Every structure is written in C-alpha cells, then in structure tokens.
C-alpha cells in the first residue's frame, strides 16, 4: 500500500519561531489534507488542497504536485499550536476497495514559551 511520509517526527521550538512540517507521498493523489490533533485527542481539519497554496491565519499549506510534496508552515508560533499535525492523502488509485484517506504517522510539535 502507498505510504505517506512526514518529517520531522518530533519538533520542539521556541515561541515566535517559523515552523515547517513536511509531507511526501508516492503516486498520484486526488487531494491532500492537513489535520491537527489536540493533546486531548480531538482531530480538526486544517486544510484540504490539490494544488497551489492555502492560508488561514498563521497557517500556510503548500503542495507541489510534480515533487509529490506538501509543507505546512506556522508563522509566529505560539504554545497553543502544540499538537500533532497529520498529513493525509486520497490516492487516486488506492485499491483494495478503500475509499478513504491514507495517513502519515504525524509530527508532534511542542512550542515552548
């Protein structure tokens, strides 16, 4: 089965730093999702994109279809950004009957005051 690779696995930074989390996938996709999982476990969708770039507040997501790579950036990071960030893709041809997303293992981000 096609994988989704995220890096880094763990990231600790100081408040105010610019954060970049990377996601790579292997073959053609229909869509890429960035999700945020809070320390309490709840999951929130941040972005869904299939090309280009999207911005929401201090969060920016980009995707390069040719390089099969996406990045999630956080500007002016804050302790409340501490969470696990998960990349998920919908492969065009997932096979096996599954119609869902294939998930990366997540990046555990800690922002220290």
Of residues 73, 82, 103, 108, which one binds another protein by CB under 8 A? 103
- Give the HSE-up count for residue 99: Cα atoms under 13 Å, Cβ half-sphere: 0
Based on the shown chain and the rule CB under 8 A, indicate whether residue 34 belongs to the binding site for another protein. Answer: no
- Side by side, the strands of the sheet bearing 52-56 are 4-7, 19-25, 69-74, 59-64, 52-56
Q: Report the site for another protein in 56-95 (rule: CB under 8 A).
A: 86, 88, 90
- List residues binding another protein (CB under 8 A): 1, 30-31, 33, 35, 41-45, 48, 86, 88, 90, 96-101, 103-106
């Amino acid at each position: 089965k096609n994988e989704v690779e995220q890096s880094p696995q763990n990231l600790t930074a100081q408040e105010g730093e610019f954060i970049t989390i990377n996601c790579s996938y292997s073959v053609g996709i229909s869509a890429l999702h960035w999700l945020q999982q809070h320390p309490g476990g709840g999951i929130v969708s941040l972005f869904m994109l299939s090309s280009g770039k999207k911005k929401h507040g201090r969060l920016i997501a980009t995707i390069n279809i040719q390089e099969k790579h996406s990045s999630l950036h956080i500007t002016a990071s804050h302790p409340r950004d501490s969470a696990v960030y998960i990349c998920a893709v919908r492969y065009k041809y997932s096979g096996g009957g599954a119609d869902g997303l294939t998930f990366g293992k997540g990046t555990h981000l800690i922002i220290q005051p």
